[in-house]
Amino acid sequence: MIACIEELMHYDIAGDPMSALKWTRRTTAKIAAELKSLDIHVSDRTVARLLKQMGFALRVNHKKLSGAAPEDRDAQFTHIAEVRERFAAQGLPLISVDTKKKELVGRFKNAGASWARQPVLVNDHDFRSDATGIAIPYGIYDLRANRGTVFVGHSHDTPEFAVECVETWWRTEGRQRHHNAGQLAILADGGGSNAANSRVWKYALQTRLCNRFGITVTVAHYPPGASKWNPIEHRLFSEISKNWAGCPLDSYETILKRIQTTTTSTGLQVQAHLVEKTFEKGVRITDAQMRELDITKDARLPKWNYTLRPA
């Protein structure tokens, strides 16, 4: 039987020169059908078992291919490093912001495992209609202080929601922690609610942060496809994911508690707040409103970097 299979796949076998593993581009069903033509009647499952005995291995897709990198990708990373070094040297606040993955609120399966005595029973399907709501965690990570703050919304992830979170953070803890500093730097992804091309994001920063508190805001966006380099991803969000792994997010209270109890050996502390305000999509900013901005774009990379000053 094995000899017959090897003969059938003579030109369809590939192997690893550093090990005994082999692969074939034929499916088990096709091999079983060809064996049947030789009057050898076996199922595709039997073929799979025999292939395993012969040293063949299954392969899965690997997410390795990336799109073409933006032309100025390296230059932007250099610029972000310069912003970080300049604000650190001057003792000025620097925050990293982003929206974490949205979560259904209810008895749904949550990825991961926990050291529980018994498994927690959850719904067998993740239907949106079975959820009591949706959680939209917008995070702010203070790089200098190693402190995180997450605002959990329930309506839409909009630029107004993003700026509401940043403004609340600055009003309630940021300016006290940083002694009413006159400048603030924000590291953000290039898309989403804090997108580099969002008029609403820029106008809200101008009116709600710069004008209201008399603070100059410098923003640097990560290039497309580079969000994993945003510090909040690996310094805050990954730790929260580990802390609630295997725990059903059955209520907003559970979500807030899991976020607040996230700590690390390096001293990370996290606060969490529920945002009950509703934010609507489709808000537009007119050309006249854009002319109200006191904005200076970076000379080298203006599409990703700009500074807003109090009007």
pLDDT average, residue stretch 39-44: 88
Write the pLDDT tens digit of every residue in 88-113: 999 999 999 999 999 999 999 998 88
Question: Quick one: which of 213, 169, 162 has its CA closest to 188?
Answer: 162
Where residue 47 falls among pLDDT bands split at 50, 70, 90? confident
User: What's the whole-number average pLDDT of the chain?
Assistant: 91
What is the spatial distance between Cα 207 and Cα 199, in angstroms, rounded to a whole number? 12
What is the predicted pLDDT for the residue at 170?
A: 98
Residue, of 258 and 13, whose pLDDT is higher = 258
What is the predicted pLDDT for the residue at 48?
A: 87
What is the predicted pLDDT for the residue at 279?
A: 97
The reported pTM is 0.81
Can you list the domains of the chain with their CATH numbers? 2-53 (no CATH), 73-308 (3.30.420)
What is the spatial distance between Cα 106 and Cα 62, in angstroms, rounded to a whole number? 32
Residue 162 has pLDDT above 80, yes or no: yes
Residue 243 has pLDDT above 70, yes or no: yes
Residue, of 58 and 232, whose pLDDT is higher = 232
Q: Give, in degrees to the nearest 5, the angle at Cα 235 between 231 and 236.
A: 105
Torsion angle of alpha carbons 274, 276, 282, 285, nearest 10°?
-80
pLDDT average, residue stretch 184-194: 97
What Cα–Cα distance (Å) separates residue 206 from each residue in 3, 224, 290? 75, 24, 10
